[in-house]
Amino acid sequence: MRRFFQHTSESLELLTHHFLHELKAIVTDKGAILILFIAVVIYPVIYSIVYSNETVTSLPVAVVDQDQSASSRKYAQMLDASAEVNVAAHPTDLQSAEKLLKDNKISGVLFIPEGFQKQLMNGEQADVSLYADAAYFLKYRNELMAVTYTNAYFSAGISIKKYMASGQDYKQALASNSPLDPQAHILYNPGSGYGSFVMPGIMLIVIQQTLLIGIGLMGGSFSESKKSPFKLAPKERKREIMPHLFGKAGAYLLASLFNVAFTLIIVYHWFNYTDKADFLHVLMLIFPFLVAVVFLGIGISTLFIHRESAIVFMVFLSPIALFLTGISWPLSAIPEWLVVLSKLSPASNLVPAYYRLRNMGVGLAGVKHEMLMLYLQAAIYIGLTAAYYFYRLARVNKRRAGIEDNAL
C-alpha cells in the first residue's frame, strides 16, 4: 500500500512538472502565443465583422425598359422597392447594360420588352428577362428572388383587379387569386442570416486547427532541440509516459479554455448569434472534443522535425476540415467514403451536434450519439498516442542496449 501511494505521489509530481514545463514553454514561445491565443481572437472577430450584415441586400441592377409604359414603370418601381436589389441604372438597350455589367457597376440586368403593357391589357402572358451573374451564387440568388417576388405581387395585383371588375369585393378577389394562404416560419435562424449560419461552425474549426497547429509547432521546436522530454532515468521512463502525456495535455486544455471562453461566450454576445442552450451542456459537449484534439495534436506533433512543418501541414488540412463538417456543402451530397473518413477529425462529430444543441436547443439527449462518439474518439486518440510513446521508448531502449552490448 505504501508503495502504491508512493508511486501515485510520484506520478502526480511528474504530471505537475510536465504540466508546468509545457505551460512555460507555451507562454515563452512567440509563435505559440500567436497561434494559440492571438489567432483565436483575430479570426472569429474579423469573420464575424465581415458577416455582420447577415444578408446580401440592395444589389445594384439595371432595368432596360423598352416598353416605356405605365405598367413597365410600375414593375420597375416594385423591383426597386424589394430589399434584395436596387435599380441603379436605366440604360436604353442591352448593349449599354452589358457594358455596365462588365465594368462591375451593376450585378444584373432586367429586360422589359416592347409591348409589355399591351400584352397585359389583352389578357396575354407578358415576359420579362433577367440576366444575372451566376458565377457569384449569393448575388444570383438574391436577384432571382427579387424578380420572383416582384412577378408574384405584380401578377396578383392584375388578377385581383380582374376579379373585382367581375363584381367581387376585395377580400373575395384576394381569396380567388390565392385560395391557399401559405405561412412560412423560419426556425433557428430568424433573420436568415448567413453569418449566424456559418460562424458557429467556423469558430469550432478555428479552435481545432489553431490547437493542432500550436501543438505541432511546439512539437517541432522540441524535435529541433534534441532534448529528452523525460525527467526520470532511462530505465524508469516507462512509468513517466502517462504523467508526461497528461501533464502536457493539461497545459493545452488550460490554454484552450481561453479560446472557448472568448469565441463561444464573448463573440456570441457581441454578434448576437442564436443561443438556446444551457452553457453547461455546451461545455459537456466541448470537453471530449478538446481532449480528442489535444491528444491527436500531441500524437501528430511527434512526426514534425521542424516547426514550419506543422504550420504547412495543418494549414493545408484546414479547408478540408471545414468542408467535411457539412457547413459549406450538405453531408448527404458528399460521397459516403469521404464522410466516413471525415470522422477522423473531431470537428466533424462536434459541429452538427453543436448546431442542434445551441441553435435548436435540443438538449444533451438530442446529441448523445455525437457525445459518445467524441468520448470514444478522445479515448482512441489517448490510447494511440500513449501506445506510440511506449513504442518509441522501447525502440530507444533497444537501441541503447545494442550500443552498450557493442561497447562490451
Q: Compute φ and ψ for 108, nearest 5 degrees.
A: -170, 170
Q: DSSP character for 122? A: T
Q: Compute φ and ψ for 331, nearest 5 degrees.
A: -65, -30
Same domain for 166 and 89 = yes
**Domain annotation covers residue 308:** yes
Interval 341-356: pLDDT, tens: 888 889 999 999 999 9
The residue out of 177, 208, 238 marking a domain boundary is 177
Q: What is each CA distance from 395 to 80, 300, 389, 391, 392, in whole angstroms?
A: 74, 18, 10, 6, 5
CA dist 315 and 44 (Å) reads 16
pLDDT on residue 110: 92
Supply the angle between the helices 279-301 and 346-358 in degrees, to the nearest 10.
170
How large is the average pLDDT for residues 129-139? 85
Average pLDDT, the chain: 84
**Residue 182 in 3-state DSSP?**
coil
**Domain annotation covers residue 163:** yes
Same domain for 288 and 233 = yes
**Domain annotation covers residue 395:** yes
Pairing of strands 85-89, 59-65: parallel
Same domain for 323 and 213 = yes
Same domain for 324 and 269 = yes
Read off the CATH number of the domain in which 114 is found: 3.40.1710.10
Same domain for 234 and 166 = no
Same domain for 164 and 65 = yes
The residue out of 148, 177, 206 marking a domain boundary is 177
Q: Tell me: pLDDT of 246 over 50.
A: yes
How large is the average pLDDT for residues 137-146? 86
Same domain for 375 and 255 = yes
Same domain for 205 and 72 = no
Same domain for 365 and 334 = yes
Question: What phi-psi label fits residue 226: left (phi over 0), alpha (psi between -120 and 50 degrees) or beta?
Answer: left
Same domain for 251 and 141 = no
Q: Tell me the chain's radius of gyration from C-alpha atoms.
A: 31
Q: What would the grid cell of residue 63 be?
A: 432595368
Domain count, the chain: 2
Q: From the centroid of its chain, how far is CA 170?
A: 48
The full length of the chain comes to 408
How large is the average pLDDT for residues 163-188? 74
Same domain for 240 and 129 = no
Cβ atoms of residues 84 and 145 within 8 Å? yes
Query: With bands split at pLDDT 50, 70 and 90, how would you rate the model's confidence at 135?
Result: confident
How large is the average pLDDT for residues 55-70? 89
314 Cβ contact list (under 8 Å, min separation 6): 209, 212, 213, 216
CA dist 176 and 180 (Å) reads 9
Same domain for 21 and 129 = no
Q: Tell me: pLDDT of 4 over 70.
A: no
**Domain annotation covers residue 188:** no
Interval 25-55: pLDDT, tens: 898 988 889 988 998 889 999 988 888 877 7
> In this structure, which amino acid lies at residue 31?
G
**Domain annotation covers residue 186:** no
**Domain annotation covers residue 359:** yes
**Domain annotation covers residue 103:** yes
CA dist 234 and 131 (Å) reads 74
The residue out of 177, 207, 226 marking a domain boundary is 177
Containing domain of residue 306, as a range? 2-52+193-407
Cβ atoms of residues 311 and 386 within 8 Å? no
**Domain annotation covers residue 184:** no
Interval 186-214: pLDDT, tens: 788 777 778 888 889 899 999 999 999 88
Pick 395 or 346 by higher pLDDT.
Answer: 346
pLDDT on residue 7: 58
